[in-house]
Amino acid sequence: MSKTLPPPSPDLGSAIVGLWRLISREDYDRDGRRCIDPIMGPHPLGVLCFAPGYFAAQFMNPDRTGTSATGPASSGANNSGAVSGYDAYFGTYTLDEVTGTVTVRLEGALSPANIGHALTRDIRVERDRLIIQLATTAVDGTPVTRTLTFARSG
């Protein structure tokens, strides 16, 4: 179930720099029910890289052969759109260490409709985990809270 993130860690800007591997991506509705994204599946793969001022992200449904992964691009509120079970984008970011939010500006994206978008998310580092949380909508329009948990790679 979705939970409120703790206050941001000190020196969040330095803490997020590096390569991160996706551990989990979970969406929960207001009633605490988990909503599985039919485009990305229950256990997508992903990597996220932060360098000072720049970032890149890639996500993939590990089973792209199923019909649920081959649907059209799906973009919920405050979210990018995947294409055939794959999503990738890169650009710049600004960090608000006081509020623990990151705003990413998409300079390039797999889905052309996402180029130029600015997306804001809550971001925290807890020990060896990077946690990003955002309000978005499921494919059917249901409001959900998405929590992405990453482990440092390398």
Q: Assign 120 to helix, strand or coil.
A: strand
Q: Under a CB-based contact definition with an 8 Å cutoff, are residues 144 and 136 in contact?
A: yes
- Distance from C-alpha of 144 to C-alpha of 135, rounded to nearest angstrom: 6
- Distance, in Å, from the CA atom of 146 to the CA atom of 21, rounded to the nearest integer, reads 17
The half-sphere exposure of 92 on its side-chain side, counting CA atoms within 13 A, is 3
Between the alpha carbon of residue 46 and those of residues 29, 92, 100, the distances in Å are 22, 19, 22
Provide the pLDDT for residue 140: 86
pLDDT the model gives residue 69: 43
Task: Sketch out the chain's domains with CATH numbers.
Answer: 12-152 (2.40.128.280)
Tens digit of pLDDT at every position of the chain (154 positions): 455 555 555 589 999 999 999 999 999 999 999 999 888 999 999 999 999 999 999 999 999 876 444 444 445 555 566 777 899 999 999 999 999 999 999 999 998 889 999 999 999 999 899 999 999 998 888 999 999 999 998 7
Number of alpha helices (DSSP H) and beta strands (DSSP E) in the chain: 1, 9
Predicted TM-score (pTM) of this structure: 0.85
- For residue 64, the model assigns a pLDDT of 84
The kind and range of the H/E element at 92 are strand 86-96
What pLDDT does 67 receive?
45
